[in-house]
Amino acid sequence: MDVSITELAPVNVFYGDNGAGKTSILEAIHLLSAARSFRSHKLNPLINSLCDKCLAFADIDIAGAGFQPVGVERYKSSQQRGHIRVGGETVSSASVLAENLPLQVLSSDTFKLLEGAPKVRRQFMDWGVFHVEHGFHGAWKNAQRCLKQRNSLLRRGRIDPAQLQAWSQELVVAGEQLHRYRESYFSHFLPQFSTMLSRLTALDGVSLEYYRGWEKTKTLAESYLDNSQKDIDRGYTGTGHHRADLRLKCQSMMAVDVLSRGQQKLVVCAMRLAQGYLLGSLRGKRCVFLVDDLPAELDRRHRKALCELLEELNCQVFLTCVDYQDVKDCWHEDTKRKLFHVEQGKVSLVA
């Protein structure tokens, strides 16, 4: 699929039959933000079976620099690394892409945020912390380095107690620093999530809690000390920053076990809208939203409520659907938007 789109608006709607290539457009935009797919960590689904690589490039409005060319090239073969270029310069880390093009995705995989493992929710939370706390990325890399070293020691048959204590102490400092970043972000996130959810639907008894990864009654140092033998027996660190989670409940039960699919989607939409709002209010940056198949699981009233919130965020939206009539009346008349028809991998501007 070789596509070039030059006329974009704040709201861009791509419609067409299933399999026409609509989601591939969203994937190309996501590639420019994360150097990977939003549906899979594997690269092969992104690349045409007849090609050995994929390439996406665009002019992106980068804070303080204006519109700059950004390109991402990825190969099927793991032997070839690919390239990332921003403003004509090669960069080595995909975190630069994320900083320049913050994205939120609403798709069929949206439910993973509730159904998936804690890692999925932890990554969601860390996306927000990364964008509002300048020191978070460095602190996260340091914590991961310490965790890797401690786990390496725990996997050994014979453990040097002095070495284990040294890495435990360093991991305590790094882990508690990450916790402070996350806790601070969550204090801003929670009220915005509640506001967004109330705007989308009426759900009684919904609560969202941040779990730091170790017991509330203990310091991280005490947790490592109390669980040291357990960690040695299992060969890895069982508690800490890498076990953090967001726990969503409804009427004191896990929300995923109580809410309908439509209600779950609205809850996740509220979570992602809250992150987009905080990016603007705390950092003065606008988030781009990729919305794949908006009508799925949402009736007209809820689709309209979601679109109104997206308009209020003053963000750029790329949205796909099969039938344009399903979303035609979801926007205010004065909202600037473009309509594109996608058929067999070809994109045509309709209006």
Per-residue pLDDT of the chain (351 residues; tens, 9 = 90+): 678 888 899 999 999 999 888 998 999 999 999 988 888 776 666 777 677 888 899 999 988 889 999 999 988 877 777 889 999 999 888 899 999 999 999 988 888 899 999 999 999 999 999 999 999 999 999 999 999 999 999 998 788 889 999 999 999 999 999 999 999 999 999 999 999 999 999 988 899 999 999 999 999 999 999 999 999 999 999 999 999 999 999 988 999 999 988 899 999 999 999 999 999 999 989 999 999 998 888 899 999 999 999 999 999 999 999 999 999 899 998 999 999 999 988 999 998
Query: What's the confidence (pLDDT) of residue 156?
Result: 84
SS (H, E, C) the chain: CCCCCCCCCCEEEEECCCCCCHHHHHHHHHHHHHCCCCCCCCCHHHCCCCCCEEEEEEEEEECCCEEEEEEEEEECCCCCCCEEEECCEECCCCHHHHHHCCEEEECHHHHHHHHCCHHHHHHHHHHHHHHHCCCHHHHHHHHHHHHHHHHHHHCCCCCCHHHHHHHHHHHHHHHHHHHHHHHHHHHHHHHHHHHHHHHHCCCCCEEEEEECCCCCCCCHHHHHHHCHHHHHHHCCCCCCHHHCEEEEEECCEEHHHHCCHHHHHHHHHHHHHHHHHHHHHHHCCCCEEEECCCCCCCCHHHHHHHHHHHHHCCCEEEEEECCHHHCHHHCCCCCCEEEEEEECCEEEECC
CA distances in angstroms from 105 to 38, 110, 126, listed in the order given: 8, 8, 15
Q: Which residues have CB under 8 Å from 170's CB, separation 6+?
A: 146
Query: What's the confidence (pLDDT) of residue 109?
Result: 82
Query: What's the confidence (pLDDT) of residue 254?
Result: 92
Query: What's the confidence (pLDDT) of residue 102?
Result: 95
Residue 85: strand pairing partners: 71, 90
Q: Which domains are present in the chain?
A: 113-261 (1.20.1050.90)
Alpha-carbon span 11 to 194, nearest angstrom: 25
Residue 182 phi/psi, 5-degree rounding, is: -65, -45
Contact criterion met (CB below 8 Å) for 149 and 163: no
